[in-house]
Amino acid sequence: MSKTKSLGIVSVGLAAAFATAWTGAEPILPTSPPPPEEALSLAGVRRFQIAPITLTPMLERAEVNARVLQKQIGLRLRREGFEVADDPALPRIGLTILTDTDPDHPQAVALTIIISAHQRVRVDRIGRSLTVPTATTGNTVLTTTANLSTAVERGIHHSLGTLLDYISWASRESSDR
């Protein structure tokens, strides 16, 4: 390719980039969608309590420890600037861990991690206040019985990170109004 032709291609590319920046055009690649609207219920939340965690027999056999998981969740929340307290008036983080196996593949485990923020809300239709999950995140992975404990920790880290992203987004969204 000639030097003149190369400079022409580079010039066209630079001109296109400059025109895009100058006009404020949106990027061509789509951005990720915003979190679900239920996440708005978390706007401004800075304090949580952590609900007790119940484990399946399979998790107990894999030596997954509910108290250790609660402690890890609390440490992550504190590291991210949240306060954790035993106050029943606070929104509550609930963790549900589901396991399932296939008899044809005894070492394979389907692991589902669900993290929910439970809050007191008023349901106008029935005229009552209830404590219900107002925002929920989760993930499902396939793992093995030998890696179950590690997969649980990774799944909690991922789902809790998503919930924290929801809080950040909701807080920004509500402050923009």
Per DSSP, the residues of 52-81 read -----HHHHHTT--HHHHHHHHHHHHHHTT
For the chain, domains (ranges, CATH) are 1-31 (no CATH), 34-175 (3.30.160)
Give the span between the Cα atoms of 10 and 101, in whole angstroms: 57
Give the three-class secondary structure for 118. strand
Q: At residue 2, does pLDDT exceed 90?
A: no
Read off the pLDDT of each residue in 55-77 and give the average, rounded to a whole number: 96
Confidence of residue 35 (pLDDT cuts 50, 70, 90): confident
Confidence of residue 1 (pLDDT cuts 50, 70, 90): low
Q: At residue 154, does pLDDT exceed 70?
A: yes
Q: At residue 100, does pLDDT exceed 90?
A: yes
Helix (H) or strand (E) holding 165: helix 148-175
Whether 104 contacts 113, CB under 8 Å: no
Average pLDDT, the chain: 86
Helix (H) or strand (E) holding 116: strand 105-123
Q: At residue 161, does pLDDT exceed 90?
A: yes
Give the span between the Cα atoms of 53 and 12, in whole angstroms: 60
Residue 136's DSSP bridge partners are 116
- Dmax over CA atoms of the chain, in Å, equals 78
Q: Give percent of the chain with pLDDT exceeding 70.
A: 79
